[in-house]
Structure 1
Amino acid sequence: MLLQAGITTNLFSQTDSIAVTAAIGNHPRILLLEHEEENIRNTIAADPVWQRMHEAILSECDKIVAEPPVERIKIGRRLLDKSREALRRLFFLSYGYRMTQQKKYLDRAEKEMLAIAAFSDWNPSHFLDVAEMTMAVSIGYDWLYQELPAGSKAVIKAAIIEKGLSPSLDPKNNSWLRAEHNWNQVCNAGMTYGAMAVYEDAPALCRSIINRAIKTIVKPMQEYAPDGAYPEGYGYWGYGTSFNVLFLHAVKKCFGSDFGLSNSPGFLRTASFLENMTGPTGKPFNFSDAGEGGSGLQPAMFWFAAALHDPSVLWVERGRLLENNFSAFMNDRLLPGIMLWNNGIKINSITAPKELIWVGRGRTPVALMRTSWTDTSAIFVGMKGGSASVNHAHMDIGSFVMDAQGVRWAMDFGAQDYESLESKGLQIFGRTQDAQRWTVFRYINQVHNTLTVNDRQQLVKGYAPITGHSSDPSFLNATADLSEIYKGTLVKALRGVAIVGKKYVVVRDEMETAAAPVTIRWTMLTPAEAKITNDHTITLTQKGRTLLLDVTASGKVVMKTWSTTPPHGYDAPNPGTVLVGFELTVPAHTKAFTAVRLIPGKSAGQMVVPSLNKWPAGK
């Protein structure tokens, strides 16, 4: 397989970033160079939080030592859970050995790598599996290179080339090179780590793979423009962006430059996107295929803080690090990265951000606003626009989430486990209007906090921009134009979300119907108990707290609740949730509006919600 190096020298006609004459250092050369452990030791000595993190990682290494190596057991079409566990184990164990020189970590990492090298393949038909497995073995091989026996190094090196790098040259395996989403970031990062690890043994092959990555990772990095909003949402930010950071840091460490990639428009600004996506409950705005839990650390955020020279982007991470229990973080396969990227920052020196609203344009525009960064009872609202045609998107255009009084009131189901659907024969990643994806209950607009017109699904090809916003603290707000999403039934559909006087939330919709009358359904998904209290209010209660949903409209509304029991056997159950809202019938060629106030605690009294064109904007 080493002969393949010769056929890759002319893969690209453009000027390569890594020249034939490029120098490459000795092992270790990936992420953490020789003697850089001392920087980590200084950080550990200077802050008890980093001391605890270091000790927690070593404690987890001790647990891994006792575990048998991973086996090649697929779940459906994926080997990905095994690749991820391999990456976790080898990143942890390699860190443990480099920081302590305890031979038990070296021996256990060697055992893991030899077991993985003996797999028949790393499942190239689902190339994320190959990418993460290659990264796993490459970190172990590089970081432990000087101590590994020659025979083991030969076996591991051959596996990296034959089961990692070479399959990426086959067009049937590398469509991710043209992808604009996380696959590109993860696969290019994995292949680059493999190429760096064995560079001296197959220089032409490895150089061309790294050059290929530098050229093609531009495509997903362009998706952060102009403001840093990540189109695939919170969960896949943690995947795609973290691997993008792993790529950038490794390339710069190895070659002294990231070739301008980190200066891609919007990329560094994405740290503010992620920070603002978490509400005071600790839960994220989990639109698209994202989980509702948000308790995990994001090690890559420390890389961003250092790059930006702005510790305030770490406010959410600070809160998590000041928790007493670090065990919840130990399943994060990238956790050792936090010790490489924290730049020696003292946790108690991190201060809260100053801005209470953040708006990001792009393929999935979002507006995120709150009344405070330090009050856990603060009001938080996140609203999104965009398109259901984006990778991993749902029909949730116009949807929002809301926290107040320390609980989440307006929620999002987020993702359903892919294998639970694919095992039933569903093709769940189509992006057309007739895709099977839109038969999945959790993915359609009827169960999101948005509008449904005549019980129809939102139009996949439509796009909703955020059209305005204001940072006026008495009326924090953002507006979006959803008209393309409902084209054919509505001539116009505008939505505005605001926090009024730091006391309650307003959601105002303004519609104009087309040539036929329509029934507009307004829904909000909630974990609270709901009671319709009169013809324009619903009272929600949870954990001893109350939220009043109060409606005014241009016509008569019918208050309703809907079950979240799904219609299909393949749908995930949704216990403890209910949809609340109302329906409004609007004649043809008619302008209409609805204004919903979401009032925590006692009633805030009457208020006429102004039309959207009178909302403050531009501040």
Structure 2
Amino acid sequence: MKTFLKISAALIFLGSSAAAQVDHLGAQVTLPDHPRILLLKDEEAPIKRTIEADQAWAKLHGVILAECDALMDVAPIERIQIGRRLLGKSREGLRRLFFLSYGWRMTRQENYLRRAEKELLAISAFSDWNPSHFLDVGEMTMAVALGYDWLYDGLPESSRSAIKAAILKKGIEPSLDPKYNSWLKTTNNWNQVCNAGMVYGALAIFEDQPELGKKIVNRALESVVISMDEYSPDGAYPEGYSYWGYGTSFNVMLIGALEKAFGKDFGLSARPGFLKTAGYLENMTGPSGLSFNYSDAGSGVGLEPAMFWFAARQRDPSLLWVERRHLLNDDAQRLVKNRLLPATMLWSAGVSTTAMTAPTSLMWTGGGKTPVALMRSSWTDPAAVYVGMKGGSPSTSHAHMDVGSFVMESDGVRWAMDFGMQDYESLESKKVDLWNRNQDSQRWRVFRYNNFVHNTLTINNALQVVNGKAPLTAVSKAPNFMHAVTDLTELYAESVQKAVRGVALVDKSYVVVRDELENKPAETTVRWTLLTPATVKIVGNNKAELTKDGKKLVLEVREPANVVLKTWTTEPANEYDAPNPGTVRVGFEVPVAAGAKTALTVLLLPPKAEKINKKTVEPLAKWPR
């Protein structure tokens, strides 16, 4: 009874606020018949033509159908919650139902339909979809709504009734309760995922709940732009690589559904920076195939279906250069882990793999909350030199104290690396206060999260200032001296008057990292660190050889003159920290006198660069603009 009254009150509140809510849809709304989400009736034909015309697309289609076959004898998902999350089950539900529904749409094989129906009924019978962690509800609602819509004509009325009741009661209605819908005002991926899920639910049962459906869609159009503003001005996604794959993918799923249902996206794709974000994602992958995994990013990479939507929208197949490699080379086991994989087929737009040519620009930069600069010597040479640097702030959603950090690779080896995230449950289960981002939060004692282990500076053995911000202050795409400069002063404001870092790719051959510091009236000790999976051999006070997989890189300190290189372990001190085998930190510490100015200049030299004349490294103010 209490739950009913809460939901009723929420519905009354939503209705009473309708005057304040912008009516994007208008009074008369007519939607296509089922199927109406993402792929309308008879729109399978262009996909079939793409499959027939290109072997790579035929392979991917076959991979999806093979996974459908593999699901035939797998038991439906059970409601098993891990910690505070049901999210793993929601994601597997979306994966299964998207795959099986695609299989049914493309082949009309009855076994795919019946297996999907079995999954839909099992999920619909859950006690709830865990609204206290609403991402779980967002993904589960999308899963069930998509299955309901795509399989509508093949489902018996009894199944339809049970499924649409679950969409309403376990998906949409909890989103009306203020206890569960704080995501409506957040700027992060929760906004994108949850709004997308609710819109899918609303579209699926629109004929049964037209007024509620309109209000859910209108609400989403007002809310999702809050998170989409994070792409401004250039498309750099503040939460990093992995969360781009999450938030942006669901944002595109939302836009794709709106376009099919209403014939327009209500201006969402035109939001500042949104279409540009495809360039960000493409440039975030190095020649080794590894991503620049700063912040709470995982180490995995894979096919990104959303990139095919961006490429089709912009008529630019070069945005698919990285995706082409996944499309051609990833094995089935890796591909089918992606719960949105069938969307790749929907957004293929008939593009052949031969049309997916390399980009022309070797450097990409973006401002915003987490500015980045991404440089490489070549898109087609697997041994190319690649370097990525970030600015930003530890206060940003999912951020680490990694401001000023960089990754670097050459000869197919990631020499300067980032650990990325630690599994949240492994920390939450041990009562780590992970989501508190205050300066003295326990979050910053997690080994992988603080500046001590990132490729940046540590001053006086102190943490970076959480609320400090580091913008990019200069960039250049000059072919022989690509570079970017970020002002780190606010991150070390308690210790120094000024701290600026520049990273350059010189002559497409080697990397220069230069830091310029100006002390306050007190002495400081500055530590320069590089985290690496390589074996490190100190071969002189200012030089170290890094070796891995039969390849070599030389780290050479040009200034100050009297440094002594050393290594530090990556074995963490806390029992809740993840182990870090096969890694080491290399760098140096230097004392800086009170009020003094100093410069730290480090060269990262692949073997080919050792044989060429290295340019004199000028002060950052003289780096060409």
Which TM class, normalised by the smaller chain length? over 0.9
Distance in 1 (CA, whole Å) between partners of 2:500 and 2:13 is 56
Question: How far did 1:15 drift?
Answer: 2.6
Distance in 2 (CA, whole Å) between partners of 1:231 and 1:316 is 21
Matched, 1:44 2:81: no
| SS across alignment from 1:146 | helix
Amino acid at match of 2:623: W
Among 127, 134, 142, the alignment partner of 2:134 is 127
Among 605, 617, 620, the alignment partner of 1:612 is 620
Among 210, 219, 223, the alignment partner of 2:217 is 210
Amino acid at match of 2:358: A
Q: 1:594 to 1:24 in 2, by over 3 A?
A: same
What residue number does 2:29 align with?
A: 22
CA contact (8 A) 2:388 2:406 kept: yes
What residue number does 2:309 align with?
A: 303
| SS across alignment from 2:591 | strand
Distance in 1 (CA, whole Å) between partners of 2:516 and 2:543 is 20
| SS across alignment from 1:429 | coil
Matched, 1:175 2:177: no
Among 353, 360, 379, the alignment partner of 1:354 is 360
Amino acid at match of 1:351: T
CA contact (8 A) 1:499 1:506 kept: yes
Question: How far did 1:606 drift?
Answer: 5.7
Deviates more, 1:602-611 or 1:160-169: 602-611
Distance in 2 (CA, whole Å) between partners of 1:326 and 1:613 is 51
Among 58, 66, 81, the alignment partner of 1:74 is 81
Amino acid at match of 1:359: T
CA contact (8 A) 1:160 1:194 kept: yes
1:356-505 aligned within 5 A? 356-505=362-511
Amino acid at match of 2:507: G
CA contact (8 A) 2:311 2:320 kept: yes
| SS across alignment from 1:65 | coil
Q: 1:202 to 1:6 in 2, by over 3 A?
A: farther
Q: 1:249 to 1:511 in 2, by over 3 A?
A: same
Distance in 1 (CA, whole Å) between partners of 2:316 and 2:275 is 11
Matched, 1:228 2:222: no
Among 238, 242, 261, the alignment partner of 1:254 is 261
Question: How far did 1:385 drift?
Answer: 0.2
Amino acid at match of 2:377: T
What residue number does 2:572 align with?
A: 566
Amino acid at match of 1:289: D
CA contact (8 A) 1:291 1:415 kept: yes
Amino acid at match of 1:613: A
Q: 1:606 to 1:252 in 2, by over 3 A?
A: closer
Q: Any idea what the Cα deviations from partners look like across 1:215-260, whole Å, max 9, x if unmatched?
A: 0000010000000000000000000000000001101110111111
Q: Any idea what the Cα deviations from partners look like across 1:472-531, whole Å, max 9, x if unmatched?
A: 111111111101110020111010111111111100000001111000000000000001
Distance in 1 (CA, whole Å) between partners of 2:330 and 2:469 is 44
CA contact (8 A) 1:231 1:390 kept: yes
Q: Any idea what the Cα deviations from partners look like across 1:100-159, whole Å, max 9, x if unmatched?
A: 000100000000011001111000000000000000000000000011000000000100
CA contact (8 A) 1:555 1:592 kept: no
CA contact (8 A) 1:184 1:217 kept: yes
Distance in 2 (CA, whole Å) between partners of 1:40 and 1:606 is 53
What residue number does 2:113 align with?
A: 106
Distance in 1 (CA, whole Å) between partners of 2:375 and 2:539 is 29
Question: How far did 1:22 drift?
Answer: 1.2
CA contact (8 A) 2:560 2:601 kept: no
CA contact (8 A) 1:489 1:514 kept: yes
Q: Any idea what the Cα deviations from partners look like across 1:54-110, whole Å, max 9, x if unmatched?
A: 011000000111110000001100000000000000000000001000010000000
| SS across alignment from 2:219 | helix
Question: How far did 1:327 drift?
Answer: 2.6
Q: Any idea what the Cα deviations from partners look like across 1:349-369, whole Å, max 9, x if unmatched?
A: 111110011000000000000
Amino acid at match of 2:132: S
Q: Any idea what the Cα deviations from partners look like across 1:367-393, whole Å, max 9, x if unmatched?
A: 000000000000000000000000000
Aligned residue pair count = 616
1:558-597 aligned within 5 A? 558-597=564-603
Question: How far did 1:10 drift?
Answer: 3.4
Distance in 1 (CA, whole Å) between partners of 2:379 and 2:171 is 44
What residue number does 1:293 align with?
A: 300
Distance in 1 (CA, whole Å) between partners of 2:17 and 2:32 is 24
TM-score (ref. length: structure 2): 0.97
Question: How far did 1:613 drift?
Answer: 1.0
Distance in 1 (CA, whole Å) between partners of 2:139 and 2:16 is 27
CA contact (8 A) 1:11 1:208 kept: no
Question: How far did 1:436 drift?
Answer: 1.8
Question: How far did 1:207 drift?
Answer: 1.1
Among 89, 94, 118, the alignment partner of 2:96 is 89
What residue number does 1:219 align with?
A: 226
Deviates more, 1:9-18 or 1:523-532: 9-18
CA contact (8 A) 2:11 2:176 kept: no
CA contact (8 A) 1:9 1:204 kept: no
Matched, 1:279 2:286: yes
Question: How far did 1:19 drift?
Answer: 2.3
TM-score (ref. length: structure 1): 0.98
Distance in 2 (CA, whole Å) between partners of 1:47 and 1:559 is 53
Q: 1:135 to 1:228 in 2, by over 3 A?
A: same
CA contact (8 A) 2:526 2:590 kept: yes
Give structure 1 regions of 4+ aligned residues with deviation exceeding 2 angstroms. Answer: 1-12, 324-327, 602-608
Deviates more, 1:60-69 or 1:323-332: 323-332
CA contact (8 A) 1:6 1:205 kept: no
Deviates more, 1:596-605 or 1:462-471: 596-605
Distance in 2 (CA, whole Å) between partners of 1:364 and 1:482 is 13
Q: Any idea what the Cα deviations from partners look like across 1:411-457, whole Å, max 9, x if unmatched?
A: 00000000000000112112221222111000000000000000100
Question: How far did 1:607 drift?
Answer: 4.7
Question: How far did 1:11 drift?
Answer: 3.2
Amino acid at match of 1:315: W
Distance in 1 (CA, whole Å) between partners of 2:528 and 2:272 is 36
Amino acid at match of 1:303: W
RMSD of the alignment, in Å?
A: 1.3
Distance in 2 (CA, whole Å) between partners of 1:586 and 1:7 is 61
Deviates more, 1:557-566 or 1:236-245: 557-566
CA contact (8 A) 2:369 2:392 kept: yes
| SS across alignment from 2:93 | helix
What residue number does 2:543 align with?
A: 537
1:188-199 aligned within 5 A? 188-199=195-206
Distance in 2 (CA, whole Å) between partners of 1:349 and 1:20 is 44
Amino acid at match of 2:624: P
Amino acid at match of 2:403: I
Question: How far did 1:9 drift?
Answer: 3.0
